[in-house]
Chain A
């Protein structure tokens, strides 16, 4: 892991409000290339909002976010170049229900990268193979199970060849029997050296793959630690209370 020291996401003094509600309070964090960060915390703690700021699905009001060397400002050009580097997977999959699985993956490369159709389809098939769902390429998303849909969503997030992947509770909407197949795919990605930030309640998964775990509460990063220390001897009482409630 000689890449560990190259910062790829730098967030300084980030603040965000929803109307008058202060959701993110003075967030500072740096993510290095190849790092796997897990963010956990009670609902409403701002963890989803934080990662949604990283590809500007949410706009922040104060502070600085630099992703892969580009600062996120109001400039459409900057936003576009950041989104090219960042893939995102959502809790509710949000596949496009009117397009086939394959079309879900080829749409952006064909229209944004102007990739020829055949090449876009080949790339898409390779990605579907990577998440082991290439045999369903011509089905509609509605015909797939939740776990399959989420794996397609992961492949779709990879279709623009991003350097960073954001996961927003990727297994929370799944039936218990399907959690593993999705986590396996994410694990594989981690193994391949992808930089990832993952909001999740799967503590077993966090313990296994994360380099660092961030615990958030009420819009702040309360604690930041490596997995062993985080689970065995957390620094803050709040962290301990949270862990005692979910494990």
Chain B
């Protein structure tokens, strides 16, 4: 069906028009301002309202937190309080906020654990390692850190009732995330399985856990479970709470992952089958990688939520970061510093959660395929 050129008629030559520069008011700073801040009357009004709010709110905030604040490192409250924040309170309480009642002379152990944890986080964020290696590292990480903090194998044992603060929060959250993602993936795959028993079991687990608030699960893990356990069998409180968190989180992650699995077209599975891949290889190489990449934003959202949810462990008597903040604010020697306590608390939570979501954004960005 080719069109043969007509020899008798000379063909016109098509010359594409050169690209012209875009009009000035639609690009650059002016274009941005016009498009984003002053695109309509209402938008302009809102822009001015927002500027007015910032002008009224930001200076007092800065003077309270920085300029008028007390930064002294003394160990007692300032007898002549200033109008700003008294950060001395945070400095004095810092150790308790970070590690709880962990013995002073063994502090090097949680510090070392924090450093190792931090290094792994940085390595993860900088993408210095292969994905496979990174996953293996995160799986392996909790074990040495647990022994470092808990003791055993030559190190003096530290009672778990003394653990607390940010160490407890990050520990519960990190292990919760590390364990609940694979568990959630398995539950999601099970829910889509052709085997009726497996499928019903997974639906049962997911729906019964999702039907109950986390507080209830923690309460049951901490208070009810020991009643049902046979006499003499004893699982410590922290472990029970950790298992409760993992189960709760994996039910939610299972549903997130299921959403991703549904986005994979049947054509992908058929194409994989047609070149001879078998069931599990199709799932592992074709379906899961694509499904997980579809749900990175919601998955990171679940991780952030899980980290914040760990603050609920206070109801079973564990003093995590928020618990320690609360306890510190009620210290009779340091009454009236609630604002400082909660601002610091919010700041730390924000830094951690924001870092997680930035990391999520970066892996989302890296995994665009075209």
Q: Which residues of A contact B (CB under 8 A)?
A: 52, 55, 57, 76, 80, 83-84, 86-88, 90, 92, 94-98, 107-108, 111-112, 140-143, 153, 156-157, 159-160, 204
Contacts and interface: CB of A to CB of B under 8 A. Distances in A.
A57 B282 CA distance: 14
A111 B275 CA distance: 11
Interface stretch (B33-41, B142-150, B152-160, B284-292): B284-292
A94 B270 contact: yes
Nearest to B285: A107
Nearest to A105: B275
11 contacts: A57-B274, A80-B278, A83-B274, A88-B271, A94-B270, A108-B276, A112-B276, A141-B369, A143-B370, A153-B271, A157-B275
Interface residues of B, number: 22
A139 to B, nearest CB: 9
A157 B286 CA distance: 16
A83 B273 contact: yes
Given A96-B268, A98-B369, A142-B369, A159 B275 contact: yes
Chain B contact residues, majority secondary structure: helix
Interface of B: 1, 265, 267-268, 270-278, 281, 285-286, 289-290, 293, 367, 369-370
B261 to A, nearest CB: 14
A63 B208 CA distance: 45
Given A107-B285, A108-B275, 12 more contacts: A55-B274, A80-B276, A83-B274, A83-B276, A86-B274, A94-B265, A95-B271, A96-B285, A111-B277, A112-B276, A156-B275, A204-B1
Contacts, number: 71
Contacts of B286: 96
A92 B276 contact: no
A84 to B, nearest CB: 5
Contacts of A141: 369
Contacts of A98: 289-290, 293, 367, 369
Contacts of B370: 97, 140, 142-143
Residue among A52, A55, A153 with the highest chain B CB neighbour number at 10 A? A55
Contacts of B1: 204
A90 B286 CA distance: 17
Given A94-B270, A107-B285, A83 B275 contact: yes
Nearest to B268: A94
Contacts of B277: 107-108, 111-112
A94 B267 contact: yes
Contacts of B272: 96
Given A97-B290, A98-B293, A88 B268 contact: no
B274 A84 contact: no
Contacts of B265: 94
Nearest to B272: A96
Contacts of A143: 370
B270 A57 contact: yes
Nearest to B281: A111
A97 B276 contact: no
Contacts of A87: 274-275
A98 B275 CA distance: 17
Contacts of A156: 271, 275
Contacts of A88: 271, 274
Nearest to A153: B271
Contacts of A107: 275, 277, 285
A88 B273 CA distance: 10
Nearest to B277: A108
Nearest to B286: A96
